[in-house]
Amino acid sequence: MSFRATVLTLYPEMFPGPLGLSLAGTALKNGLWELDTVQIRDFATDKHKSVDDTPAGGGAGMVLRCDILAAALDAVADTRPMLAMTPRGAPLSQARARDLASGAGAIILCGRFEGFDERIFEARPVEPVSIGDYVLSGGELAAMVLLDTCVRLLPGVMGAASSGEEESFETGLLEYPHYTRPVDWEGRTIPEVLRSGDHAKIAAWRHEMALRDTRLRRPDLTLRHGGASQAPPSGAQRDNEGKMK
């Protein structure tokens, strides 16, 4: 069974957008995953196709109505998890992306205006998900980020199955820095260890650089993972990088 994404949105014309290009787009064309959209307004009950109303208690903006959202979700509900893209959700993690990618897909609800009537989370098994501590105009771009994160992990999407194993966040660390030719560029050279051909030293160097960059750029990750003192990756065993001259 391929990974299938159903996106509930007020702007279905935004899809596939970037998901129709590069790795995700090729995988979509090759049938490695499926994407369909649902127009939330199709479930409105008045002649104006209204999907929102003023917030209870007063305040600026409009709120997406729970009855209309529930009708849209119920129309597509199956065994796939239901997600709602909102800055009030739990942060999307690489671990959650891997978990989703290992399943049948997801039903994704895209927020707009001031967000969702909170009762939708009480009445339906909808998981609030955030892609960062900032606010977008709507959940569509966030849904694309989530889907790209998942799709690239699907079997056959990346060229080599091991391509995603040592990336940032897979081990609780940021990924080590990368280099390629030319060896000397504007007086800056590729570190000698990466040109040595010694796979054990390369693996140790990469681990040390991952630790360094994580401590400097994401101290929150360092604290979260107990000082980020994980053992070096097993890259020395599978690294087939030859000596660069």
CATH of domain 165-238: 1.10.1270.20
Separation between Cα atoms, residue 115 and residue 67, nearest integer Å = 14
User: Where are the domains positioned within the chain?
Assistant: 3-151, 165-238
Distance (Å, whole) CA 27 – CA 216: 36
Question: Residue 159: its pLDDT value, please?
Answer: 73
Q: For residue 96, which of 153, 138, 142 has the smallest C-alpha distance?
A: 153
CATH architecture of the domain 3-151 equals 3-Layer(aba) Sandwich (3.40)
pTM: 0.85
Q: At what angle do helices 22-29 and 140-151 cross, to 10 degrees?
A: 70
Confidence bin at 164 (pLDDT 50/70/90): low
Count CA atoms closer than 13 A to 149's CA, side-chain side. 21
Is the distance from CB of 2 to CB of 31 less than 8 angstroms? yes
Beta strands in 11-118 (DSSP E): 33-39, 52-53, 63-64, 82-91, 105-110
User: Average pLDDT over the chain, rounded to whole?
Assistant: 90
- Per the model's pLDDT, the better-predicted residue between 62 and 226 turns out to be 62
Average pLDDT over residues 8-37: 98
CA-atom Rg of the chain in angstroms: 22
Residues 6+ apart with CB under 8 A from 205: 176, 191, 193, 194
93-125 pLDDT, tens digit per residue, is: 999 999 999 999 999 999 999 999 999 999 999
End-to-end, the C-alpha distance of the chain in Å comes to: 46
User: Which residue in the block uniquely carries the two structure tokens 């360094």?
Assistant: 212
